[in-house]
Amino acid sequence: MQLNIQEIKKIIPHRFPFLLIDKIIDLVPNEKLVAIKNVSANEHFFEGHFPDEKVMPGVLIIEAMAQAGCIYFYYSRDLQGKDLYYYLGKVTAKFMAPVVPGDQLRLEIRTRKFIKNTGIVETKAFVGDKMVTEAEIVFSTKER
């Protein structure tokens, strides 16, 4: 399954400038999700991080991973049609390389564990074939 930006916006409440996923290129519920984030030189955060040597903040890479994880959970737990709140819990992350303008982040999400309205996902972010970040993210959902 693939999702475009309009379909993503139906699932998660984030909007510009905080919507950090451009598209889902592969989604198999309860197996994996692969999302894309194109990193443009025009991103608002590059004005201050850092003006002379632009680097995407690690916290925003984690946020992109969390957004992708919520979409994965939404389909894996068959929550289609429900209006949900998402709460980010614990994050354990490791950063291996900087992400800079012109990079394309490929976010890969896999199940670690799902319990009722809580998800634990293993995430990896790649630029090309190089892993730049890996994280375990815990989150939960609640119907509005």
User: Does 44 participate in catalysis according to the annotation?
Assistant: no
Closest CA to 24 of 130, 32, 134: 32
Choice among 23, 32, 49, 110 that is catalytic: 49
Distance CA 120, CA 110 (A): 9
What amino acid positions are annotated as catalytic residues? Answer: 49
